[in-house]
Structure 1
Amino acid sequence: MRLVLALLSALWVAPAAAQTLSASDPAGIAEAMRRAGFEVAQTQSNAGAPALVAVHSQIKFQVFFLGCEDGANCAHLLLTSEYATPEPVTPEQVNAWMTDNALGSVSYDAESGNSRVRYFLTTTGGVNERMFSETMYLWRLANISWLRAIAPAAE
């Protein structure tokens, strides 16, 4: 009976451990994003750290790996998308969106009028795949929300 319990407990723990994601494994992050429905390509940042370019629902964004040691053993992820509109985004649009949206942050370049949505995610200690998938879903919704907020400027 103890052997059966030991085997069952091993089976119970193994799937959870296998689904833990970390920024120290860019290929694992990319694969989890693919399982969540994103198109993903692996690349590098200008500093030589791992990076991903991803697309979902016509939303293109980059995932930067931060807190790395010589381009490896990264600890954090920064998701960022950039939007150009014919009319510059205003501080009022940014402030209104930031007041109503908790996920991510928006910034804009006053010179170009382009805006950027960002989300910081630490993976220190690991993140289970279900939570990561939910975060990616919320990230997509944040971008959709921002695109709706700037739609008048995009017309």
Structure 2
Amino acid sequence: MKLTKLFAVAALAISPVAVQAENLTARHSSSIEGFFLDEGSSVEVLVDNVGDPQLNVEHYGSEFTIFYYGCEDNTNCDSIQFYSGYATDGSVRLKTVNDFNAEKRWVRAYVADNGSTKLEMDLYMGKDGISADDFATTVGLWSRLMGDFEELIDY
């Protein structure tokens, strides 16, 4: 009987609920910064023009910015935006960008008034955040789509 209890306690201790890692959140920039640092990426922590967190990330050869949204007093944010801008000086046709947007589900691209092109992807993280595995999948998706876009615009 005691052995059965011991096995039950051991099983509970190694159950997925017990070993579940802390979710990544947008509540403070340190959560997402830590993810990228653990991945071996370089991260510069900044503040945007309204005082919200901003991360400039170099991740496996790709450079992009993460903006924070839905913040209360520049903290406790509920979402982030992956962003990459390209100085293309008007060389990318609007039709090219529109076709890309029609084919790709998760991101949106556009041509700015100054002729540069931009790529964005929003992620709502809520109060409780998302698992590190799900965030890693999202970062992988972002990286792949960013590569597709850069290839399309010959950047």
How much does 1:106 deviate?
Answer: 0.5
Structure 2 residue runs of 5 or longer lacking an equivalent are none
1:9 paired residue among 4, 9, 12:
12
C-alpha spacing 1:65/1:87, structure 2 compared with 1 (3 Å): closer
TM-score by length of 1: 0.86
CA displacement, residues 4-33 of structure 1 (integer Å, 9 cap, x when unaligned): 5345424432431x3311101311111112
Larger Rg: 2
C-alpha spacing 1:25/1:14, structure 2 compared with 1 (3 Å): farther
> Residue 95 of structure 1 aligns with which residue?
98
TM-score by length of 2: 0.86
CA displacement, residues 23-58 of structure 1 (integer Å, 9 cap, x when unaligned): 013111111122334321111111111110011244
Matching of residues 24-43 of structure 1 within 5 Å: 24-43=27-46
How much does 1:86 deviate?
Answer: 4.5
C-alpha spacing 1:4/1:45, structure 2 compared with 1 (3 Å): farther
Aligned equivalents of 1:14, 1:72: Cα separation in 2: 29
Paired residue total: 150
CA displacement, residues 129-150 of structure 1 (integer Å, 9 cap, x when unaligned): 0010111011111111001111
> Residue 153 of structure 2 aligns with which residue?
150
Aligned equivalents of 1:2, 1:41: Cα separation in 2: 50
Structure 1 residue runs of 5 or longer lacking an equivalent are none
How much does 1:87 deviate?
Answer: 4.4
How much does 1:91 deviate?
Answer: 1.1
Aligned equivalents of 1:5, 1:71: Cα separation in 2: 45
Moved more, 4-13 or 58-67: 4-13
> Residue 120 of structure 2 aligns with which residue?
118
Aligned equivalents of 1:65, 1:105: Cα separation in 2: 17
- Give every structure 1 segment of 4 or more consecutive aligned residues whose post-TM-superposition deviation is greater than 3 Å: 1-4
Report the AA paired with residue 76 of structure 1: S
